[in-house]
Amino acid sequence: MPRPLWSGSLSFGLLNVPVTLHSATRDRDVHFQLLHAPDCSPIETRRVCATEEKPVPWPEIARGYELDDGSWVLLTDEDLQAAAPRQSRTIDIERFVEVAEIDPVYFDRSYLLVPADEGAARAYALLSETMLDSGKAALGRFVLRAKERLVGIRVRDGALTLTTMLFGDEVRSAAEISAEIEGAKPTREQVQSAVAVIEELSVEFDPTRYRDEHRAHLKRIIKRKQQGKKIAAPVAAAEEPVTSAPDLMGALEESLARIRGETKKPKKAAPRARSHARSR
């Protein structure tokens, strides 16, 4: 099992459950390394002290905070912990709420909590069974990497799953965007047709249905390049010139006709493949 990102305890009332924190997501991206063009030798990023002109080893790197007068305060790891010693060791459950009440705009990264040892497993099981039974999520907070995180914890796949959340003041207001929207409100008839299109395309959310075709496409490009083949430059999609307000009702009717026409055929389901997936 990989090393935990954090270890501490989850506190529920006076009960402490020692846990370790692991990422719930993994990076599947295709990563590139920066190379020096003439000889393709790898490029390293080196940290260099600006005044001494010499490379600085990692232990000599401090966190600096710039004050208004331009001077710098250097902080150590201990200083950061001293700001809130308890919060850097425990996740205090403050409330329980319905998951549906939390707007997704607050969700950030997800992690899995694992009991630290066999002794902790019983309290962990007690807490997760109780939460599963209630259907609620626990809200708490703790400090991870020098930042306090509001967290929502719930049971998923038998494991307590922690999602870090943004604080209220980290979410921007949408007022500036909505204030700029002009134009006629849609008619009742248009909205009804649009809702009908939505209903026709409604399914239960099944994440396994969607694959990252872009990632697969990029891997194929790398393979072709390795075989010495030429990669055609991307064709810029011919932008349909937008000159006048669109005929919304016509587009909605055509959509419904197409979707309903498609669903009549025996081989339905497959939503139209994305154009670039087809193009290769």
Partner 1 sequence: MPRSLWNGTIAFGMVRVPVKLYSATESKAVRFRERHCTDGAAIEHRRVCVQEGREVPYGETVKGFEVSSGSFVTLSKEEIAAADGPGAHMIEIEHFAGREEIDPVYYDRAYRLGPGKLGDESYLLLHAALKRSDRVGIGRFVFHNKAHLVALRALEDVIALHTMRFADELVPAGDLDMPTPQRKPSKPEVTAARALLDQLSASFQPEEYEDTYRAALLELIERKARGETIAAPEPVQIAPEDDLLGALQASLKRQGRSPRTKTKKSKTNRSSSGKKVVAGSSR
Q: Which of residues 212-251 bind partner 1 (CB under 8 A)?
A: 212-215, 217-218, 221-222, 225-226, 231-237, 240, 242-246, 248, 251
Within its chain, how far is the Cα of 116 from the centroid? 26
**How far apart (Å, rounded) are the C-alpha atoms in residues 11 and 93?**
6
Instruction: Output 198-206 pairs: Cβ under 8 A, ≥24 positions apart.
Output: 200/256, 200/259, 200/260, 200/263, 201/259, 201/271
In this structure, the number of other CB atoms found within 10 A of the CB of residue 248 comes to 14
Please tell me whether residue 268 binds partner 1 under the rule CB under 8 A.
no
CA torsion 12-18-22-24 (nearest 10°) is -30
When binding is defined by CB under 8 A, the residue of 211, 264, 265, 267 that contacts partner 1 is 211
Q: How far is the CB of 189 from partner 1 (least distance, A)?
A: 11
Nearer to partner 1, 243 or 265 (CB): 243
Please tell me whether residue 264 binds partner 1 under the rule CB under 8 A.
no
Binding mask 80-99 for partner 1 (x = CB under 8 A): xxxxxxxx-xx-xxxxxxxx
End-to-end CA distance of the chain: 39
In this structure, the number of other CB atoms found within 10 A of the CB of residue 111 comes to 24
Contact indicator for 102, 137 with CB cutoff of 8 Å = yes
Using CB under 8 A, count the residues that bind partner 1. 193
Q: How far is the CB of 77 from partner 1 (least distance, A)?
A: 10
Contacting partner 1 within 168-187 (CB under 8 A): 168-172, 174, 176-178, 180-186
Please tell me whether residue 75 binds partner 1 under the rule CB under 8 A.
yes
Nearest to 102 by CA among 156, 150, 68, 63: 150
How many residues are there in the chain?
Answer: 280
Please tell me whether residue 135 binds partner 1 under the rule CB under 8 A.
no
Please tell me whether residue 11 binds partner 1 under the rule CB under 8 A.
yes
Please tell me whether residue 252 binds partner 1 under the rule CB under 8 A.
yes
Please tell me whether residue 60 binds partner 1 under the rule CB under 8 A.
yes
Contact indicator for 135, 98 with CB cutoff of 8 Å = yes
Nearer to partner 1, 234 or 266 (CB): 234
Nearer to partner 1, 45 or 266 (CB): 45
- Which pairing describes strands 159-165 and 147-156: parallel, antiparallel, or unpaired? antiparallel
Please tell me whether residue 70 binds partner 1 under the rule CB under 8 A.
no
